[in-house]
């Protein structure tokens, strides 16, 4: 009797489940999304993109295909953002601070020496502060789906070891195309040279710049160790990355399609951050094996760097908006239990 009742219950439940799932999948249309990034295959950013594509395929029943364009094949970050706004490319992932030219408040995440760990950054970016920034994007033709990570940036150069603040003076350092990193290195006595990431290797190889600053995974993935002799673990800046989708494209999607992309971006986020942190430690060991000389700053020298950039932080806090910066520091304090 129990067996018959179980079969009956299953028989009734199955059509009900099909009725529930069927219409949702039926609403998802066949389409292809172009997803671009500046980093090369093998980088944690691209590994996250691959996971996202896999999840979208799975959640859409194979109806939505995500075609990846890593390695800057569709242009640098600034160019790609313009292409998203124009609806030419559907998606990209890049340093959130680059969006400061679109929404000034995004400049807050570029401020130096903000976070003590990636986990601390996760709580702030996934919380009210990061969500508040994302809510400002649609007016600029962009939609933010999730924050991934690039990690902590470190300095490399081809002139001499950097073990103290004075060693940075006079170095031509490539920075990302965003005002805060430019001012940051100028404040430390370097000559900052903003360039697209896609042009960086050549600039280092030809001596157009003496050095650059990026997380260890980037330095390894882009083979900067071939054209740089010295690395210093400055950890001067943490880069949250943001997964963006063109608002023109987003507005043409139905609720089911939007849900697939949103859920996939968040699930891929957790995977990508884990991969990024594992690769950061592994990349540093690989960099040492290449023969690159790796230095660490003493706590006293790190404090000198922090002191040197304080006027810059005050200056940009006014540009970004004091309320935004205060909100950020308040949330960091809350995460630390202060």
Average pLDDT over residues 317-328: 94
Q: Inform me whether the pLDDT recorded for 11 exceeds 60.
A: no
Mean of the per-residue pLDDT values of the chain? 91
Residues linked to residue 5 through DSSP beta bridges, in sequence order: none
Average pLDDT over residues 327-338: 93
Q: What is the pTM of this model?
A: 0.85
Q: Inform me whether the pLDDT recorded for 3 exceeds 60.
A: no
CA 244 vs CA 98, 146, 152: distances in Å: 12, 8, 21
| CA distance linking residue 293 with residue 206, whole number of Å | 20
Residues linked to residue 239 through DSSP beta bridges, in sequence order: 151
Q: Inform me whether the pLDDT recorded for 15 exceeds 90.
A: no
Among candidate residues 113, 132, 116, the one with its CA nearest the CA of residue 337: 116
Per residue in 125-176, pLDDT tens?
999 999 999 999 999 999 999 999 999 999 999 999 999 999 999 999 999 8
pLDDT given for residue 10 in this prediction = 40
pLDDT given for residue 171 in this prediction = 98
pLDDT band at 209 (very low <50, low <70, confident <90, very high): very high
DSSP code of residue 28:
P
77, 91 Cβ separation under 8 angstroms: no
Per residue in 64-88, pLDDT tens?
999 999 999 999 899 999 999 999 9
Domain ranges (residues) in the chain: 30-335
Alpha helices in the chain (DSSP H): 2-27, 44-59, 77-85, 118-126, 128-134, 179-187, 200-206, 216-221, 247-250, 255-289, 299-308, 310-320, 322-335
30-335 classified as CATH 3.40.190.170: yes
Average pLDDT over residues 4-9: 39
Contacts of 84 (CB under 8 A, 6+ apart): 90, 91, 92, 141, 142, 244, 245, 246
pLDDT given for residue 176 in this prediction = 87
Average pLDDT over residues 302-329: 94
Q: Inform me whether the pLDDT recorded for 4 exceeds 60.
A: no
- How does 307-324 read in b/e, with b if 16+ C-beta sit within 10 Å? ebbeebbeebbeebeeeb
- Which pair of tokens denotes residue 250? 């987003």
Q: Inform me whether the pLDDT recorded for 23 exceeds 90.
A: no
pLDDT given for residue 24 in this prediction = 56
- How does 246-284 read in b/e, with b if 16+ C-beta sit within 10 Å? bbbbbeebeebbeebbbebbbbbbebbbebbbebbeebb
pLDDT band at 26 (very low <50, low <70, confident <90, very high): low
Q: Inform me whether the pLDDT recorded for 250 exceeds 70.
A: yes
CA 307 vs CA 154, 303, 333: distances in Å: 18, 6, 20
CA 139 vs CA 80, 94, 103, 265: distances in Å: 17, 19, 9, 21
159, 211 Cβ separation under 8 angstroms: yes
pLDDT given for residue 162 in this prediction = 98
Residues linked to residue 92 through DSSP beta bridges, in sequence order: 36, 244
238, 147 Cβ separation under 8 angstroms: no
């Amino acid at each position: 009797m129990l067996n018959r009742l179980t079969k009956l219950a299953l028989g009734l439940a199955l059509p009900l489940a099909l009725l529930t799932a069927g219409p949702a999948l039926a609403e998802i249309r066949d389409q292809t999304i172009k997803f671009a990034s500046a980093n090369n295959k093998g980088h944690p950013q691209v590994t996250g993109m691959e996971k996202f594509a896999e999840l979208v395929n799975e959640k859409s029943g194979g109806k939505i295909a995500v075609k990846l364009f890593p390695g800057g094949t569709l242009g640098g970050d600034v160019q790609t953002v313009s292409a998203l706004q124009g609806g030419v490319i559907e998606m990209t992932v890049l340093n959130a601070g680059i969006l400061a030219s679109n929404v000034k408040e995004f400049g807050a995440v570029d401020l130096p020496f903000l976070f003590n760990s990636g986990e601390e950054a996760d709580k702030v970016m996934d919380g009210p502060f990061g969500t508040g920034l994302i809510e400002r994007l649609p007016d600029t033709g962009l939609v933010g789906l999730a924050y991934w990570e690039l990690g902590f940036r470190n300095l490399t150069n081809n002139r001499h070891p950097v073990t103290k603040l004075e060693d940075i003076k006079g170095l031509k350092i490539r920075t990302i195309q965003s005002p805060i990193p430019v001012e940051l290195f100028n404040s430390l006595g370097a000559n900052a040279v903003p360039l697209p990431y896609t042009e960086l290797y050549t600039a280092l190889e030809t001596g157009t710049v003496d050095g650059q600053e990026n997380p260890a995974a980037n330095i390894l993935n882009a083979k900067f160790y071939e054209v740089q002799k010295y690395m210093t673990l400055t950890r001067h800046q943490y880069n949250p990355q943001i997964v963006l989708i063109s608002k023109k494209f987003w507005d043409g999607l139905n609720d089911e399609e939007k849900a697939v992309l949103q859920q996939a971006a968040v699930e891929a986020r957790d995977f990508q951050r884990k991969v990024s942190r594992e690769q950061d430690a592994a990349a540093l060991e690989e960099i040492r094996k290449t023969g690159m000389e790796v230095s660490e700053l003493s706590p006293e020298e790190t404090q000198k760097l922090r002191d040197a950039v304080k006027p810059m932080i005050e200056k940009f806090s006014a540009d970004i908006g004091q309320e935004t910066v205060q909100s950020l520091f308040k949330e960091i304090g809350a995460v630390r239990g202060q």
